[in-house]
Structure 1
């Protein structure tokens, strides 16, 4: 046999189990998905059953042969699942969640971890099994809750907002738990120092990756915008995901953490929705493989053997999560009804529970029986979730009737008082801003120093002045951040208010001195890394002198860096706001003409009386009355039967105006000119005569017989600007008026 055919035959031989296993998994999953879609049950449950049927624990169905390959696919599935969850997550959402969701999630998580551990020990499970059980039970299922809310049509209810906020907090806590559990699994003991180091390391890298990601990735996507077809955007987004996976693994974190972080960074870009749409089929495919692989571990013999623990843990999940979540919502100040509804919505386990259970198996620290028990509990609580949500309102009403009246009244008073608490005090706002400033810039400075000592120093250390070159490069790079941490003012208004109170003057001075001392410490730390103590001290004096001599330049440089970051950070929000605005762009508008019917009740009224602009948003460009054209009519102009009015507006505004003319007999005919001499024209404001004056003071109307219908300023667009709006240099005006007069105005 020829060599090529031999190689091909061998390749086919090795490839055959891989393809046949994948085909079996997808065919089984496809049938299960169709069936569960038909009976309106969560698809995750269908995947689990499909996995059980295709697994080696079920003898009456073809089984997967190469389980190792399935495990690899499942790990890839976890990566894409977490990447997709990150795309739906947002750090802004986390900051906007508010105290209610944060307290609810925290109380529920802490309670369930503690109860899970205690119940595990009570059932004579090992310490690691009990710890992982507590972590598994503390996570609720976003997928199941969203599906149930959609089916029950309760997304708009108040308690739904609290539930969504709690799920966001749980997502980030789940990432933290994965890191902590990995640390505990390795050390096999509760070491306070190791746990603190792990948390500190996680916080450091989370801040660093988020800041670096927001600074560079949106810029990269914007620069390459014209090159990003669906294919290239999908490849680039997956490349970014896997790059962060590699980076997270290199620094000692799980691949899933890296995928989640990259997803959350991309979630802040303008391409987030597009990438989420493109990644969905990939996530669905590998996610299905992951959940099927989970189902393959179901062992009926194990479930029968551990049926009592399954029942106990199911009851613990439903009762414990319902009660603790409701208690957390009540502590945060929610009324009894909303608290009960919130608690009963969160009474299940889901995606992150499986991932945490998978982590325990991969680290080989949990028993074989834990995984199938978790799957069984998840399946049962998936079925019970919709019924619990439905029963929440009647149960809350039942509690209000049965609880002692004093208790109900006390809960109402507490809720009322908690919701009327004022926002943070001036001092708290200043402390929070100062702490944020110190932490963020310290992370950036430390990261730059570490990177410099690892990558820059080895390149130049063999040269005569290698250390000096490395030190200078490092100091130059961190100089704007040193300026920011020591001299940049934060919470300016709050500081001005605090200075008026004598008791705050001392603490304010101490905080300022502390920040300056911290900057000096970082300078000394850099120099000490590259020089001996004596030379480092001399270099420190030189560095401080240089630092004092160029504060303005450092200020400007830092502002450029900060503005670039903030622009990237707010890009998506600005884009979403623009899409939502009805009156977004006057140049999206067009002209349309209407005739005032003889029997119209508008005839005989002035434009001021009709208030067409206020009611419908349109502007009247001119009125044609026989052979006479009244360009940009004044508010005192009256409409007469037979008048042909030419209006300018968007499709929605013209549609609304048409409905306003309920007795009009003619359909509007769109055109772009309306009249040979009346046009909608763009003017870039450069004439100093107009700058600094209001629209009315500029007399543009008198000079052009025109009307300013729109202004674009710094990328922000305004339709129908107020006549008192002051014109600024660089404004782009959209004016409807006489073509000749507008041209002369543009040239003057």
Structure 2
């Protein structure tokens, strides 16, 4: 008798998976098409598609295997964060400056507090309140960028402040995700636990970033000629997943690992190409993630919590607007730009979903929180374009209604905040010493930890194994020990302080502290591999070698540092978010435009175009291929492909854009780094007093142009060249950075 065993067909196993994916993508595609037509954020389309395909809507085909969808959604989060890292770049964070940092930090602190209080007043659990505060503190980059594109305000001054604040918000969101994970696991608000998590985060971020920048750009550079697009895509995803595994193994969110790898690759020369290759993958899994968010929307739950949804919507709209406006004012921005910035940031979006998902995966938040947040996000996404439009009218209304003293105080604070801030010599020295100590200590501790974990077990039990392991570790770590202990830093400032006898003591203490710290690390290494007695003898031998060959150690460290800096600076940021707009307290700022090949103004001189006379703007420079023409003369002609950088108010830039659009011209999203800057100079040089602007030869001395004068509280934009200069005048000059600096000193 034959027994026939029939295995389940492959088709029957795959059928639910394939049908679910097909349903999700088909529904998402239709929703995206419709939302594109009605000019609404695509994220909302995905959410509605998820709601239709979920188990909470009975009049539509339903996803069967929700577990698989959850896995795809987690992969979607990884690729979303990886793509965010690719767009991020640590250089960009440095360049956003204090304005965006103060705005974002103030807004997040106030909103986390406000959200926690709101949750408490509604009777929610503490963990729900904490997650709620973090969730409603992060604005939506996707929704804001879309609104700016549709409203055509990306060239206005406040838009740069908003983009900068969003960059800082994203970084703080990553940090808060790590801290929330710690709180969720410990289930208590322990200050020591949070402090330990913060130190752990700083340690691993430094190790990963330094190691990543040192090796990954080199790998991509030397394999560039071998890598096809397919291989580059696979390699990029592989690097991303390796960092995801590393982050997960040390107790961090996998999303953090994806973000870190993205930010490392963002510093390479192939970052833009990789970003282009990864975009379809990100879009696919990102769509699945947002659809999965929509599947969690339960109309019954939302209806039961209609009052919390309404309350939180008002908290987000008004709280985000007010807190961001306060932060922008504190950073030194004028009232108008501050209000416009605040009104633009009045929504929550993709990061809020990710944080809410984190709470659910950790099983520390209530079931109602997720659909409530999705509902609030959907409502605030709809209101965002209207809030952006209301920014200017609201600012003008406040200027009229607020007490005159307040408005004047804000203007004075804004003007003073733009003044050059002096940094004391001691501040420079302390900053340099702290960076040197912390940075190199982290690297040394990381090398010791890796050696103890991977090298020591390999030699355990052999006769000279410990000596070999200790020697290898010391050789690897020696350049960093030298830099920590003996490298000269802030040489000019230290010499200046050392000339003062009263300042010598603290300087000597700092120098000896670095040396003692270096000795401590050497002793720590040797103690890990030897008994205390042998370690002491080895320490003396190591110190002898250490002081006999300082030049060789310096040379090795210099090679390592040069390689790192070379990799870090390989890719200069091609597109900046107009972070130069915050160089003046006036409404005037820089914006760039590209001359189209078929433009009607091609071939005409600046004198013929009369842009200054007709519109009021000044041209700071013309970039023509590799050539930059700083402060061009009136006889300069415009050619196809030229990039012009202009200075003007929001109204003037908008007027210029409209004028140029009629002549087939297109505006880029950002401005590249240049030696031309906009700077204010207080007129103290007696040789200028009583002379006209033309007679003063400021243009010749700075290769620049006087675009504004402030005199006794009155402001004159684009002053006549025959205007006589007076004592106390504040000149706003666009010109060469170095020449302006020398003129200011003179």
The TM tier, using the shorter chain, reads: 0.7 to 0.9
Matches within 5 A, 1:260-271: 260-271=259-270
CA-CA distance at 1:495 after TM superposition: 2.5
Distance 1:366 1:238 in 2: 31
Residue 391 of structure 1 pairs with residue 386 of structure 2? no
Q: What TM-score, normalized to structure 2?
A: 0.76
Partner of 1:230: 229
In structure 2, the residue corresponding to 1:572 is in which secondary structure?
Answer: coil
CA drift at 1:505: 2.4
Partner residue in 1 for 2:315: 316
Structure 2 distance, partners of 1:43, 1:423, is: 47
Structure-1 residue corresponding to 2:558: 559
Aligned to 2:709: none
Alignment correspondent of 2:491: 492
CA contact (8 A) 2:624 2:641 kept: no
Counterpart residue number, 1:351: 350
User: Counterparts in 2 of 1:726-737, with a 5 A limit?
Assistant: none
Distance 2:491 2:250 in 1: 38
Conserved 8 A contact 2:332-2:414: yes
Root-mean-square deviation (CA, aligned residues, Å) is: 2.2
Residue number in structure 2 paired with 1:676: none
The answer to whether structure 1 residue 404 and structure 2 residue 431 are counterparts is no
Written as runs of structure 1 = structure 2, the 5 A alignment for 1:648-663 is none
Please list, as runs of the form range in 1=range in 2, the aligned pairs for 1:59-98 lying within 5 A after superposition.
59-98=58-97
| Shift, 1:471, TM fit | 1.0
In 2, are the aligned partners of 1:314 and 1:381 still within 8 Å (CA)? Answer: yes
Q: Secondary structure at the match of 2:9?
A: helix
Counterparts of 1:434 and 1:229 in 2: how far apart (Å)?
Answer: 45
Q: Which residue in 1 is equivalent to 2:412?
A: 413
Hey, what's the Cα distance between the residues in 2 that align with 1:615 and 1:21? Answer: 52
Task: Show the counterpart of 2:326.
Answer: 327
Answer 1 or 2: higher relative contact order, Cα 8 Å, separation at least 6. Answer: 2
Matched residue, 1:239: 238
TM (norm. structure 1) is 0.76
2:123 — aligned with what?
A: 124
Counting only pairs closer than 5 Å after superposition, residues 424-573 of structure 1 correspond to structure 2 as 424-573=423-572
Distance change (3 Å), C-alpha of 1:618 and 1:250: closer
Separation in 1, partners of 2:146, 2:493: 45
Structure 1 equivalent of residue 193 of structure 2: 194
Pair 517,215 (structure 1): closer, same or farther in 2 beyond 3 Å: same
Structure 1 unaligned residues grouped into runs of 5+: 578-613, 620-649, 654-748
- Specify the SS of the correspondent of 1:225: coil
With over 3 angstroms needed to count, the CA separation of the structure-2 counterparts of 1:84 and 1:496, relative to structure 1, is same
Give the drift of 1:504. Answer: 3.0
Aligned twin of 1:710: none
Once residues 243 and 529 of structure 1 are traced to their aligned partners in structure 2, the CA distance between those partners, rounded to angstroms, is 29
Contact 1:270 1:575 in 2 (8 A): no
Higher mean Cα deviation, 497-506 or 159-168?
Answer: 497-506
1: CA distance, partners of 2:229 / 2:87: 19
Contact 1:323 1:343 in 2 (8 A): yes
Q: Distance in 2 between matches of 1:3 and 1:187?
A: 56
Partner SS for 2:46: helix
Q: Distance in 2 between matches of 1:618 and 1:205?
A: 40
Cα displacement (A) at 1:506: 2.2
Aligned to 2:290: 291
CA distance in 2, matches of 1:103, 1:423: 19
Kept in 1: contact 2:312–2:376 (CA 8 A): yes
Aligned-partner SS, 2:572: helix
Give the whole-Å Cα distance in 1 for the aligned partners of 2:624 and 2:137: 52
Relative to structure 1, is the Cα distance of residues 499 and 178 closer, same or farther in structure 2, using a 3 angstrom cutoff? same
Q: CA deviation at 1:300?
A: 0.6
- Partner residue of 1:214? 213
Greater radius of gyration (CA): 1
Deviates more, 1:29-38 or 1:161-170: 161-170
1:618/1:116 CA distance change after superposition, 3 Å: closer
Distance 1:162 1:232 in 2: 38
Taking the TM superposition and a 5 Å limit, the aligned residue runs for 1:154-165 are 154-165=153-164
Deviation at 1:539, TM superposition (A): 1.2
TM-fit CA distance, 1:574: 8.2
| Structure 1 CA distance for aligned equivalents of residues 502 and 43 of structure 2 | 59
Distance 1:5 1:78, change over 3 A: farther
Distance in structure 1 (CA, Å) of the matches to 2:71 and 2:411: 53
Deviations 1:515-557 (A, max 9, x none): 1111011001111111122221111111111100010110111
Deviation, structure 1 residue 618: 13
Contact between 1:70 and 1:289, CA under 8 Å: does it hold in 2?
A: yes
Which residue number in structure 2 is paired with residue 638 of structure 1?
none
8 Å CA contact 2:138–2:173 kept in 1: the answer is: yes
Give the Cα separation in 1 of the matches to 2:468 and 2:3: 58
Q: How many residue pairs end up in the alignment?
A: 585
**Cα separation, partners in 2 of 1:502 and 1:393, compared to 1, 3 Å:** farther
**What is the match of residue 706 of structure 2?**
none
